[in-house]
């Protein structure tokens, strides 16, 4: 593990009070396993927020330096996970991390991973950047999360070996597995990306938090992926009025309407009326 020091903006007493979790509290796995779902969410959010405020001698060590903690969380939560994201009950929330605008006013800095590292962190992971992150402030038990239905609807995240192309290569073990840094796997997400009906409103209303502080250049196609939707309080509530929690994604190539390779550039929350919710959306791969 590389050496690190506390970021100037980080509260040192808060980080130090949780140091036991980073170095291996013997009671940590049992405590995490027995905690409620809400307590587990608050636990990993708190740990990851604090961890993101550490500065490393080599920024490219950021994903691997947290390996021990992340592996223990994956086992304690009994799920698959990697690159700061957990599958199952924690997937949507963990995916909706965002730049902490109170600390990183100029945006997160993309980390350059040298070839010798033998892996690349996907843009949907906060581990791909330097800087402080937090998580969207979402109500508990009031969000309907998008689920993959096996037929192309929802967000699909299945770890797949690069040297295999058929469906039998997909990870299907019932045992929890940790995947950060496994260069032999395809760590992309397949998502239904949707067009904006009112992108100008979303942009001007400051409901989008861009990872790198600024929106993509105008010659890049920008879409959004619905990760979760506010649950209606009555049968009268319609999707157009409900809050939608989304990833903002941009095509890797300029002016390419047919490009299926996108990258994450931010997150947002706005009414369904601002999104084209008709049809299944365009399936894109997020690296």
List the chain domain ranges.
Answer: 4-137, 145-286
pLDDT of residue 4: 31
The candidate with the shortest Cα–Cα distance to 74, out of 61, 63, 59, 85, is 85
Q: How far apart are CA 270 and CA 279, in angstroms?
A: 19
- pLDDT the model gives residue 7: 37
Given this model, what pLDDT does residue 150 score?
A: 72
User: Tokens 């929690």 appear where?
Assistant: 245
Q: What is the pTM of this model?
A: 0.86
Q: What is the pLDDT of residue 266?
A: 97
Report helix, strand or coil for 251: strand
255 in helix, strand or coil?
Answer: coil
Please count the other Cβ atoms lying within 10 Å of the Cβ belonging to residue 102: 9
Alpha carbon distance 220, 232 (integer Å): 34
Q: pLDDT tens per residue, the chain (287 residues)?
A: 333 333 333 343 444 444 444 445 666 667 777 889 999 999 999 999 999 999 888 899 898 888 888 998 999 999 999 999 999 999 999 999 999 999 999 999 999 988 776 677 999 999 999 999 999 999 999 999 998 877 767 898 767 655 444 333 344 446 789 888 887 788 889 999 999 997 777 777 778 999 999 988 888 899 999 999 999 988 878 999 999 999 999 998 765 666 789 999 999 999 999 999 998 899 999 98
Reduced to 3 states (helix: H, G, I; strand: E, B; else coil), residue 144 is strand
């Amino acid at each position: 593990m590389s050496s690190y020091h506390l970021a100037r903006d980080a509260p040192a007493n808060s980080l130090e009070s949780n140091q036991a979790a980073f170095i291996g509290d013997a009671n940590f796995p049992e405590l995490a396993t027995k905690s409620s779902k809400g307590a587990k969410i608050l636990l990993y959010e708190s740990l990851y927020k604090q961890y993101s405020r550490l500065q490393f001698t080599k920024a490219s060590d950021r994903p691997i330096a947290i390996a021990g903690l992340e592996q223990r969380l994956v086992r304690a939560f009994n799920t698959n996970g990697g690159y700061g994201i957990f599958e199952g009950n924690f997937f949507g929330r963990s995916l909706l991390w965002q730049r902490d605008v109170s600390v990183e006013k100029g945006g997160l800095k993309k980390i350059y991973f040298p070839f010798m590292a033998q892996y690349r962190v996907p843009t949907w992971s906060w581990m791909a950047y330097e800087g402080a992150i937090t998580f969207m402030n979402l109500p508990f038990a009031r969000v309907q999360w998008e689920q993959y239905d096996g037929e192309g609807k929802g967000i699909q995240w299945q770890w797949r070996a690069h040297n295999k192309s058929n469906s039998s290569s997909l990870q299907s073990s019932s045992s929890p597995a940790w995947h950060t840094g496994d260069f032999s796997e395809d760590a992309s997400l397949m998502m239904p990306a949707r067009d904006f009906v009112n992108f100008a409103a979303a942009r001007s209303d400051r409901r989008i938090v861009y990872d790198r502080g600024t929106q993509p250049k105008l010659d890049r196609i920008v879409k959004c992926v619905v990760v979760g939707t506010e649950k209606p309080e009555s049968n009268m509530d319609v999707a157009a009025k409900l809050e939608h929690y989304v990833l903002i994604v941009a095509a890797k190539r300029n002016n390419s309407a047919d490009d299926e390779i996108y990258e994450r550039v931010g997150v947002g929350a706005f009414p369904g009326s601002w999104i084209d919710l008709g049809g299944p959306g365009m399936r894109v791969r997020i690296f």
